[in-house]
Amino acid sequence: MVLLFQIFPSQLSLSADSFIPPLATRRISATASVTPPSGARLFPLLLPPRLARWSLALLMATWTALLIRLWTPPLPVSLVLILLCLTSGAKFIRDHSVEADRDSYWYYNMWLITAHLLPVFARIAAWRIVAPTTFLL
């Protein structure tokens, strides 16, 4: 992700001897200067980049195993969740460019959406246990 920051006129130095055309904007990488607005110290930002990426992959794998154990989704859904976790984790660890992070983040979002859908399968399983005719008098 590339952010554009505006340079204010007070930051420009112009002299009569040498004129350097002022730049309206400069491009900097968002991963190079990320500071939360609240000033909070975020855990991934405190770690070295490689360790932060490995910890993300490890935490995703742990969450995947715990969520599958908790919600007991069908096997195909479990496999999709595991594949999305492995794909996202491997992409975060393997390539550190901004474009690769954007691609990895898409897989991470798909993993997160799938994880949020897991309670649906527990409700479906509970509904099957209690027959709808039970509620008819």
| pLDDT tens-digit map of 81-93 | 999 999 999 999 9
Which residues of the chain, if any, have pLDDT below 50? 1-32
What local confidence, expressed as pLDDT, does residue 35 receive?
Answer: 60
What local confidence, expressed as pLDDT, does residue 132 receive?
Answer: 64
CA-wise closest residue to 107 among 128, 86, 127: 86
What local confidence, expressed as pLDDT, does residue 43 receive?
Answer: 67
What local confidence, expressed as pLDDT, does residue 33 receive?
Answer: 52
What local confidence, expressed as pLDDT, does residue 41 receive?
Answer: 72
What local confidence, expressed as pLDDT, does residue 53 receive?
Answer: 93
Cβ of 64: how many Cβ atoms within 10 Å? 20
What local confidence, expressed as pLDDT, does residue 85 receive?
Answer: 98
Name residue 28's beta-bridge partners.
3
User: How far, in Å, CA of 123 to CA of 118, rounded?
Assistant: 9
Would you say the pTM of this structure is higher than 0.75? no
Query: Any idea what DSSP says for residue 37?
Result: T
DSSP one-letter string for 56-120: HHHHHHHHHHHHHHHH---HHHHHHHHHHHHHHHHHHHH--SHHHHHHHHHHHHHHHHHHHHHHH
